[in-house]
Amino acid sequence: MGRIPTAELSRYLLYGQLSRRGCLRGGITRISTTSALRQSRFFSTQIDTPAGAAPANVPLTPLRKELKEQAKALKASGKKKKKNSDNQTVPGWELTVGIEIHAQLNTARKLFSPAATSFNDTPNSHVALFDVAMPGSQPLFQAETLIPAVRAALALNCTIQPISRFDRKHYFHWDQPAGYQITQYYHPFARDGRVMLYARDGIAAEDGECIEIGIRQIQMEQDTAKTTAVPGNVHWLDFNRVGVPLIEIITLPEIHHPATAAALVRKVQMLLNSVDACVSGMETGGLRADINVSVRRVQDIATGKLGTRTEIKNLSSFKAVEDAIIAERDRQIAILEAGGVVLGETRGWSLGNTETRRLRGKEGEVDYRYMPDPDLGPVVIGEDLVQHLKGTLGVLPDAEIDELIELYGLTTKDAMSLIQLDNGARIQYFYNVLDSLEERLRAAGSASPNSDSPAGQRHALLAANWCLHELGKLTEVSADLGMTPDGECNVPSVDLAAILFHLHRREITAKVAKELLWAVFRGQIPRGKVTQAIEADDLWFNELSEQDYAELADKVVEGEDKVLAEFLRFKQGKIKAYPQGKLMFLVGKIMRAGPEGRMDPESAKRVLRDRIEHVYLPHMEGQ
Amino acid sequence: MLARSRPSSLPWLPKDAIPSPHSPTRFTLAVKDNIATADGHTTTTCGSPFLSNYRSPFEATIVSQLRARGGRVVGKTNLDEFGMGSHSVHSAFGAVAQDSPEQLAGDVKALRSAGGSSGGSAVSVLLGEADVALGTDTGGSVRLPAAYCGVVGFKPSYGMLSRFGVVPYANSLDTVGFLAREVRPIRELIVGDGTTQGLWAEHDPNDPTSLTPSARKRCARSRQFYSPSQSPDPSILNGLRLGLPLEYNIHELSPTIRDAWSRAASLLQSHFSARIIPVSLPSTRHALSAYYVIAPAEASSNLAKYDGIRYGVRDTSVENDAAADGVLYASSRGKGFGPEVRRRILLGAYTLSSKAMDNYFLQAQRVRRLVRRDFDRVFALPNPLVDPDQQVFDLSDLPEGTIMEDKWGPEEVDFLLCPTAPTLAPTLGEVMEGGSPVDEYVNDVFTVPASLAGLPAASVPMPVEGEGEGKTAGLQLIGQYWDDARLLAVAEVIREILRG
């Protein structure tokens, strides 16, 4: 199930180099992007912060009263904010959305210069002559950027074009030294793809179990420089980012519900991560979406003509995609219902707003004057490369989720989480833990590690739960797991596997297992020394014997005749439900009465039930 | 007013300026100022206010290649701003002329144009300040000054000489070219002289349009005179087929030049057994228009980087509301460029705009393909860059009245022989007070077709009689792609013959 990292694959394909560590799987460490709070990468212009919006001398109103009045006013105006899930359609209207997604490719070099791609390095330290458009410098296409790009296109089921070309898109901005961006406008490298969205991907209920969204094209293009606004209306530019390769994914206008649009963006991110095509997700700014929104009356659908569309730029979260579409749809419908006309314009959206805002109108529209770049020849992508990349693509997320659900018995929600966490590294970690755990189980000769059997499912499910939930608790406080793309973190997979091995064999209690996990996470147990640590602190689960449990039970039920009478009533059919609560009450008493750390509530429960059934009740009946 | 490049004074360079790090000096070299030099003290201005104090951090490949062959850079030469012009008068450093003002008692208007845009380079070799000068030729910018100044100018096949470090005007047309008093030094640089490798064989990985080593070898395989041992003599002309393009006999062609052209052709035919064959290049009349669409379009894109922030002077008199309208750039760019550059940027921006693209830019590209087809049809050698299947021509495509050699079609030729410019060098007075900019563009009518097709061409001095007695015009030879070596060999022989 291992995936070949893009960097390694491109070294192999382009330069014939194989990892010296002997096999293509794993082993490549990349700079972790999780630790640093990166600045949002796509805000090329500064963000305007409204100057001191402090209310001036407003008479003080009690908050409760204020809230009440606001709610009342909302109700009166009929504008009460609906939950998004109840707000996917407007009767009488059809919404149409097309999305453009920009994603940063996972490559070592820039698109047209051998300068390295980097994050958070010293600003302006990875800049080639061409990156800053020095007079007389020329673009040098870096063939290795094609590998993640083609993988991304294949994951999105596109047809790779044998010949594609680069065009210049002209506009002036300080973050773009050449005065144009090189992109693929006339001849993109991939066309005609599609993405399947299922209910579990979070599509609108109106779209049913599954829906297919078409991809018009994918093009490669250059990123711009990073602008950092500093006080005093000064902007700092970091040209490390200029020329970094991006892909732009353009969907067909086939989306009709806001939630489905957000699901599509999420799904695209998941697919790109799964083939290691992109460096980071939306939350870290490596992915950004522009959306095109139009509405038309239901009776106009037959005409086949879409309404006038507006474009909302630079959305940087899934929620923003959904919220912005709802807001823009409602704005357009309100205009049309009032007899107005929707203007084709570019609009913006800030998180937390309820309305999109106008950025520029059609008359202010930039004519990009696209021109084929006269320095760059066509890009020829051979069928052999495409076939090779197809063959090494690995299992795509949908197949993997199905497998996790069917084979290991995970819930859909847990399977999706496992796949999406840490940009796809968490699932890799899970496989590492599972491999290690199964190896130990095999070596110990206990429980068939065959995952197909119910017993196998049990240990896999255990591993999944721990990789997801118990590991998740570690980071609730503050620290970071330090998860690497090949699935290792501050809790080495072998150590978690060791903990789970003992837990699965009931050699330690769940409580001890959790304490061990913390100790490993904090570095208190050296790598590979979990078993020794258990040994040293004598944490083994030295369980009471059946006899001990029985004696404890006998002691505990003394004076609890009223409770036991309930069981009798159940036995005699006087009450329908088994008095589970009463049983657990007694189990609790046993647990408190016995020695700590040597008891398992399950065992206590089993023995107690047995005693009630075969000893206490016959005894009571006999009285 | 005077050219910064007037080679009698190279004030910005100490006399013994740049010691070559590579080899002993074998020739002096002047470098057009749109080619990057990085020796610590020369600027690379492109004749533009934007780059008036720009020092390039790197050196152009061609300069390094020539220094490795013993070239000593003695100066940078003036030019039309960014190479845009035909008389080297559109420069931030003043106009170039081929006479010194003292000769004409300070009558600036009577000075003769040096041609453009490599005017400074032409004058530097004319006056002997440099043995070889580097120019750039986008639509005739090396050949036209050579013709006006009576020196030799050579534009190689596109992709032969590296453009890395050459500030682009129109990338798909730009070539580095040479100017010298004789053909031989140029030929020896291109082909090699037995001790140094010919430039034709050197690929530059920094220039994506530089032909790969394998493509160079493949192209040269079907060509002659790439071996330095083959020295040309007049026998080369024996039976050589020289085509005279009928369409070049335009009404703007001055009678003096027309006479000199036909005299030169007769001489080569009668005394040296060359065969003079009239040929037809029907797309010629559209070539000039196509050039003045394509070149400005690429220029408008290439020059977008000069915005007054990193280069040139920023106009701070207007309010900085760049975020809203981009006015920050508009004013700086408007003030920073000279009028000719402004004109071409506007022209290019228009022809690329979404409404005009189809009618201008795309149409011009179609014309460009037809121009190349015309050449491929008349040349006996095939074009190695074009699929052989596409070089089969239908007789029905030929214009009426074309003379057939036999039932297979008109006779094919080895080279085209034509004037370089339609007139003798005008005076600066005529240039600057003359008519519309289009009049200036007409000077390029004979040089532009070879540029559009990427073909090699050379201009050698051709004596004129009658009105311009004692003066010289330029005689142009155009060859098939990568036939540069033989073209230079023939040019060398013709240069000797026309010297009289």
Cβ atoms within 10 A of the Cβ of B33, count?
29
The span from the first CA to the last CA of chain A, in angstroms, equals 64
Measured between beta carbons, the chain A residues lying within 8 angstroms of B329 are: 172
Distances (CA, A) of A269 to A103, A265, A280: 8, 6, 9
Give the pLDDT of residue B17: 40
Cβ-defined contact of B304 to A138 (cutoff 8 Å):
no
Predicted local distance difference test score (pLDDT) of residue A614: 85
CA distance A97 to chain B (A): 25
User: What are the residue numbers of the active site of B?
Assistant: 32, 117, 141
Ranges A94-103, A196-205, A590-599, most confident:
A94-103
Backbone φ and ψ for B145, nearest 5 degrees, come out as -60, -35
CB contact under 8 A, A369 and B167: no
d(CA B493, CA B500): 12
CB A113 within 8 A of CB A188: no
Q: Nearest C-alpha of chain A: how many angstroms from B298?
A: 8
In Å, how far from its chain's centre is CA B392? 30
**Which residues are CB-neighbours of B217 under 8 A, at least 6 positions away?**
B201
Q: How many CB atoms neighbour CB B69 within 10 A?
A: 22
Which chain A residue is nearest to residue B327, measuring alpha carbons? A172
Instruction: Give the torsion sign (CA, B348, B353, B359, B364).
Output: positive
pTM: 0.79
To test the contact with chain A by mutation, choose from B298, B331, B369, B452 the residue with the greatest count of A C-beta atoms within 10 A, namely: B298
Percent of chain A with pLDDT over 90: 31
**pLDDT value at residue A510:** 84
- Residue ranges of chain A whose CB lies within 8 Å of a chain B CB: 45-46, 129, 132-141, 168, 170, 172-174, 177-180, 367, 369-371, 374-377
Report which of B81, B86, B36, B93 is spatially closest to residue B299, judged by C-alpha positions: B81
pLDDT per residue as tens digits for the range B414-443: 999 999 999 999 999 888 887 777 777 888
Relative to beta strand B472-479, strand A210-222 is unpaired
Segments making up each domain of chain B, as ranges: 27-239+417-499
Evaluate whether B144 touches B89 at the Cβ level (below 8 Å): no
| Cβ <8 Å between B352 and A45 | no
Which residues in chain B have Cβ-Cβ distances shorter than 8 Å to A173? 326
Q: Report which secondary-structure segment, H or E, holds A479.
A: none
Cα A505 to Cα A169, A260, A597, distances in angstroms:
63, 44, 16
**Partners of B197 in the beta sheet?**
B192
Nearest CA-CA partner of B55 in B71, B39, B69: B39
For residue B259, count CB atoms less than 10 angstroms from its CB and return exposed for 0-12, middle for 13-18, buried for 19 or more: middle
Pair of tokens at residue B414: 């080895």
In three-state form (DSSP H/G/I as H, E/B as E, the rest C), the secondary structure along A336-391 is: HHCCCCCCCCEEECCCCCCCCEEEECHHHCCCCCCEECCCCCCEECCHHHHHHHHH
Given an 8 Å threshold on Cβ–Cβ distance, is B207 in contact with A138? yes
Please give the backbone phi and psi of residue A73, each rounded to the nearest 5 degrees, phi first: -65, -40
A505 is written with which tokens?
Answer: 């064999």
pLDDT at A74: 62
Across A438-476, b (16+ Cβ under 10 Å) vs e yields: bebbeeeeebebebeeebbbebbbbbbebbbebbeebee
The pLDDT value recorded for residue B318 is: 67
> Between B119 and A48, whose confidence is greater?
B119
- Which residue among A133, A173, A375 sits closest to B171, beta carbon to beta carbon? A375
pLDDT in tens, B372-412: 999 999 999 999 998 888 777 777 777 666 777 777 778 89
> pLDDT band for position A419 (50/70/90)?
confident
Contact B30, B145 (CB under 8 A): no
Reported as type and span, the H/E element at residue B311 is none
Residue A198's DSSP bridge partners are A210
Nearest to A134 among B57, B297, B353 (CB): B57
B121 contacts B88 by C-beta, under 8 angstroms: no
Give the model's pLDDT for residue A488: 87
Q: What are phi and psi of A359, to 5 degrees?
A: -100, -55
pLDDT score at B277? 95
In angstroms, what CA-CA distances link A3 with A145, A280, A383, B251, B376?
18, 17, 22, 71, 52
Integer Cα distance of A466 and A430 in angstroms: 9
Whether B307 and A179 lie within 8 Å, measured CB to CB: yes
Lowest mean pLDDT among A3-12, A540-549, B218-227: A3-12
Lowest-confidence pick of A129-133, A378-382, A395-399:
A395-399
Residue A57 has pLDDT above 50, yes or no: no
Counting one residue from A and one from B, how many pairs have CB atoms under 8 Å apart? 92
For chain B, list residues whose CB is within 8 angstroms of any CB belonging to chain A.
35-36, 44, 46, 51, 54, 56-58, 60, 163-168, 170-172, 205-209, 297-298, 300-301, 303-305, 307, 309-311, 322-323, 326, 329, 349, 352-354, 357, 361
Nearest CA in chain B to A365: B325
Tell me if A140 and B60 make a contact (CB, 8 A cut-off): no
Chain B residues whose CB is inside 8 A of the A369 CB are 300-301, 349, 352-354, 357
Burial class, B197, CB count within 10 angstroms (exposed 0-12 / middle 13-18 / buried 19+): middle
CA angle at A123 for the pair A119 and A128, rounded to the nearest 5°: 90
Determine whether the interchain pair A369/B329 forms a contact, defined as Cβ–Cβ distance below 8 Å: no
Tell if the CB–CB gap between B310 and A177 is shorter than 8 Å. Answer: yes
| pLDDT at residue A81, rounded to an integer | 60
- More confident call, A324 vs B231: A324
Distance from CA of A303 to the nearest CA of B (A): 28
Per domain, the residue ranges of chain A are 6-29+85-380, 397-531, 546-622
Residue range A198-225: mean pLDDT, rounded: 91
Q: What b/e string do you get for B161-181 counting C-beta neighbours within 10 Å, with b at 16 or more?
A: bbbbbbbbbbbbbbbbbbbbb
Cα–Cα distance between A128 and A133 in angstroms, integer?
9
Inter-chain contact A170–B301, Cβ cutoff 8 Å? yes
ipTM beyond cut 0.95: no
Rounded to an integer, the average pLDDT of A581-602 is: 85
Q: Give pLDDT, residue B374.
A: 93
Q: A81-106 burial, b for 16+ CB within 10 Å, e for fewer?
A: eeebeebbbeeebbbbbbbbbbbbbb
Q: What is the mean pLDDT of chain A?
A: 82
What distance in Å separates the CA atoms of residue B187 and residue B229, rounded to the nearest whole number?
Answer: 12
**Interface residue of A185, A375, A376 to substitute, partner B, most B CBs within 10 Å:** A375
| Residue A478 confidence (pLDDT) | 61
3-state secondary structure B262-286: HHHHHHHHHHHCCEEEEECCCCHHH
Report, as ranges of residue numbers, the positions in chain B whose pLDDT lies below 50. 1-20, 321-324, 326
- Amino acid sitting at position B243: G
- Are B423 and B468 a contacting pair, CB within 8 Å? no
The SS3 of residue A270 is helix
Backbone angles phi, psi at B128, to 5 degrees: 80, 10
Nearest-by-Cβ selection for B305 from A133, A370, A375:
A133
Q: pLDDT at position A459, please?
A: 84
Higher per-residue confidence, A120 vs A169:
A169
A424: which DSSP letter?
G
CA atoms of B388 and A117, how far apart (whole Å):
43
Beta strands of A436-509 (E only): which ranges?
none
Please judge whether B307 and A172 are an interchain contact, meaning their C-beta atoms are less than 8 angstroms apart: yes
Angle between helical axes of B284-302 and B339-352 (0-180°, round to 10): 100
Comparison of pLDDT for A229 and A7, the residue scoring more:
A229
Nearest in space to A103 (alpha carbons), one of A155, A36, A139, A172:
A155
Distance from the B270 Cα atom to the nearest Cα atom in chain A, whole angstroms: 45
Read out DSSP for A510-526? Answer: HHHHHHHHHHHHTT-S-
More confident residue, A285 or A223: A223
- Averaged pLDDT, A313-323: 88
Closest by CA to A489, choosing from A419, A532, A425, A417, is A425
Smallest CA-to-CA distance from B374 within B355, B391, B349 is with B391
Question: What CATH number is given for B27-239+417-499 in this structure?
Answer: 3.90.1300.10
A-chain residues within 8 Å CB-CB of B46? 135
Q: In this predicted model, what pLDDT tens digit does every residue of A155-206 receive, in sequence order?
A: 999 999 999 999 999 988 888 899 999 999 999 999 999 999 988 888 888 8
Contact A139 B208 (CB under 8 A): yes
- The single-letter code of the amino acid at A310 is T
**Rounded to an integer, what distance in angstroms lies between the CA atom of residue A286 and that of residue A288?**
7
CA atoms within 13 A on the CB side of A116: 11
Start-to-end CA distance of chain B, whole Å, equals 36
pLDDT at A364: 59
Residue A314 has pLDDT above 90, yes or no: no
